[in-house]
């Protein structure tokens, strides 16, 4: 766990719950990171023809995910990556999909899942007051990605119906990992929506990858997004 050189002072001691919703404890110790699309107002386009999550073909959300987070720490050692919140804002809509879905897969040691495409995203440490701000070992990709097929040891850990109709421009979905209940989770209608989507808590072990897939039947346009991912990187069990 990275040390904050500004504390302790004169032998003092403090106790803080790092996993509180406000996350100041994680910020203070230097374990909190943020990753966003590179330029404000410039969304990143994803793949057009993702229509299902069931197979390993060219139209599968497993092989054409929207995002991948790979934990570059050495297997069986190093830190675990814990996604906390992930805000997505839709710019270009998927024009003909009849609904919109989400799937999450964990890929085990031996495959970083990423093959090609998309944009490499550089995360930033959220505590810049430390004399040596920590560096994240997360390798993050977003966009029109080609991924390796889910392996035999891959785990589907979540699936959600995000919208019962075609999403609209400026829809915002806030994915909250570890939240038990969302708000307006199955949204429809023509107006832009702000939706909180509850997801299970996720820890990406060293050498594993998280794949995020989105798809809708008969989609005919490549959706594009701006996003903000907040995550923690900590030793297992701390």
- Asked whether residue 95 is assigned to any structural domain, the reply reads no
Task: List beta partners, residue 117.
Answer: 145
Please tell me the distance from the alpha carbon of residue 100 to that of residue 219, in angstroms, as a whole number.
9
What is the predicted pLDDT for the residue at 185? 46
**Residue 28, phi then psi, degrees to nearest 5:** -65, -40
Asked if the structure places residue 71 within a domain, the reply is yes
- Average confidence (pLDDT) over 190-203: 86
What total of structural domains would you count in the chain?
1
How many CB atoms are closer than 10 A to CB 238?
10
- Which domain covers residue 135, as residue numbers? 24-86+101-159+202-235
pLDDT digits (tens, 9 = 90+) for 5-59: 555 555 556 566 776 767 888 888 889 999 999 888 899 998 877 777 666 677 7
Using an 8 Å Cβ cutoff, are 231 and 82 in contact? yes
189 falls within a domain: no
In-domain check, residue 91: no
Q: What is the separation of C-alpha 89 from the centre of its chain, rounded to a whole number of angstroms?
A: 13
Q: Among 10-14, 18-22, 83-87, 205-209, which stretch is predicted with the lowest mean pLDDT?
A: 10-14
Q: Is residue 73 part of a domain?
A: yes
Strand partners, 128: none
Alpha-carbon distance of 136 to 74, in angstroms, equals 13
Cα–Cα distances (Å) from 193 to 25, 81, 97, 220, in that order, read 31, 29, 17, 22
- pLDDT, one tens digit per residue, over 118-164 is 999 999 998 888 777 788 999 999 999 998 877 766 788 898 888 87
> Can you give the pLDDT at residue 6?
56
Q: Does the pLDDT of residue 186 top 60, yes or no?
A: no
Identify whether 6 is part of a domain: no
Q: Does some domain include residue 187? A: no
């Amino acid at each position: 766990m990275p040390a904050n050189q500004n504390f302790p002072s004169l032998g003092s001691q403090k106790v803080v719950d790092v996993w509180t919703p406000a996350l100041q404890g994680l910020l203070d110790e230097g374990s909190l990171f943020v990753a966003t699309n590179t330029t404000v107002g410039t969304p990143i386009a994803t793949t057009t023809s993702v229509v299902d999550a069931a197979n390993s073909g060219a139209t599968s959300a497993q092989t054409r995910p929207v995002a991948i987070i790979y934990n570059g720490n050495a297997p069986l050692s190093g830190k675990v990556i814990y996604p906390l919140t992930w805000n997505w804002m839709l710019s270009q809509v998927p024009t003909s999909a009849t609904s919109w879905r989400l799937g999450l897969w964990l890929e085990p040691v031996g495959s970083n899942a990423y093959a090609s495409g998309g944009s490499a995203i550089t995360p930033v440490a959220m505590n810049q007051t430390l004399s040596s701000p920590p560096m994240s070992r997360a390798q993050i990709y977003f966009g029109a990605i080609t991924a390796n097929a889910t392996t035999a040891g891959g785990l589907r850990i979540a699936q959600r119906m995000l919208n019962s109709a075609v999403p609209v421009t400026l829809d915002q979905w806030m994915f909250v990992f570890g939240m038990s209940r969302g708000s307006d989770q199955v949204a429809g209608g023509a107006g832009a929506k702000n939706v909180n989507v509850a997801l299970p808590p996720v820890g990406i072990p060293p050498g594993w990858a998280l794949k995020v897939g989105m798809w809708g039947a008969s989609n005919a346009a490549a959706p594009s997004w701006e996003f903000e991912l907040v995550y923690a990187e900590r030793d297992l069990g701390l």
